[in-house]
Amino acid sequence: MTSLDTDLSTFRPVATVEDFFALLKPRVMSLVVFTGLAGLVVAPGPIHILTAFSALLCIAVGAGASGALNMAYEADIDGLMTRTAARPVPRGIIARGDALAFGWSLSVASVALMLLFVNALAAALLAFTIFWYVGVYTLGLKRRTPQNIVIGGLSGAMPPAIGWAAVTGTLVWQPLLLVAIIFFWTPPHFWSLALFSSSDYSRAGVPMLPVVAGKRSTRRHILAYALLLVPLGLAPPVFGMAGPVYLAAAATLGTLLIWRAAGVLAERDEAKEPAARRLFTVTIFYLFALFAALIVERLAGVAPLHAAL
């Protein structure tokens, strides 16, 4: 082997800013920030614009840090799955150690800045969210149980509570209702993805529900969670947290969500899973529309349908 061959065999592409940004899972991060914004906007009381910006920035950085740590700890799994093989760590563009250092540095910085510029409760909730996603979901549940995304989904559900705490310094039942909506949204969202990506998970040895319990059982679970989710989605107007725009969005999209979930249960094309793909898209739009309606109503001054209990 020539010296040139040796040099080429040890060559590692130089990581760019774009590669490190990809570690943050920007699409997931944007949804996390959006739901955090909803909690911040719906919360009673004033908040200084710089404090609000600091809170949202810390939520974004904390979510991105969690994504980077998840990619670092799951690099071996990602490399075996078609959907994730192009991520920076399994491709060798960013070393696993560098991704870990990047993720943990951002984690500490996001919590410290939240404590310094917002308040202690918001910082504690952000720290809990990072711990739950990395320690409980990624390291504890992902490789061990098909209930990984059910239990682990609590981390992705927490941003509305963090946003609320940033404004009020308290944690009451209203933001927990928003947390519950996201928590029960997570299983039908990710299990629909798991249905049409089951071969990936099987190859990587990840015990997702379709791999462990079979697709038929997964379809039943999806419909069951959809039937629990839709009434929760309709609850905010009942408790004085939302108005007619939100109610219309929740009722219309909730009906569509259940219809699509029923379609998944009736699916016959298990090779391509078209019904699961349609449901996956609907779940994204459902959550976005509900929280967008909350934000728009509050900013526009639309009165809730009922006085808060």
Percentage of the chain beyond pLDDT 70 is 95
What whole-number distance in Å separates Cα of residue 38 and Cα of residue 291? Answer: 6
Question: What is the reported pTM?
Answer: 0.93
Lowest mean pLDDT among 53-57, 178-182, 230-234, 267-271: 267-271
Phi, psi of 302 (to 5 degrees): -70, 130
Q: Return the amino acid letter for 8.
A: L
Long-range contacts of 87-90 (CB under 8 A, 24+ apart): 87/22, 87/23, 88/15, 88/19, 88/20, 88/22, 88/23, 89/23
Q: 213 pLDDT exceeds 60?
A: yes
**What average pLDDT does range 63-78 have in this prediction?**
96
Q: What span, in angstroms and rounded, lies between the C-alpha atoms of 277 and 270?
A: 11
CA dihedral 116, 121, 126, 128 (to 10 degrees): 130
**Whole-number Å distance between alpha carbons of 60 and 55:** 9
- Average of pLDDT values for 79-106? 94
pLDDT at 218: 96
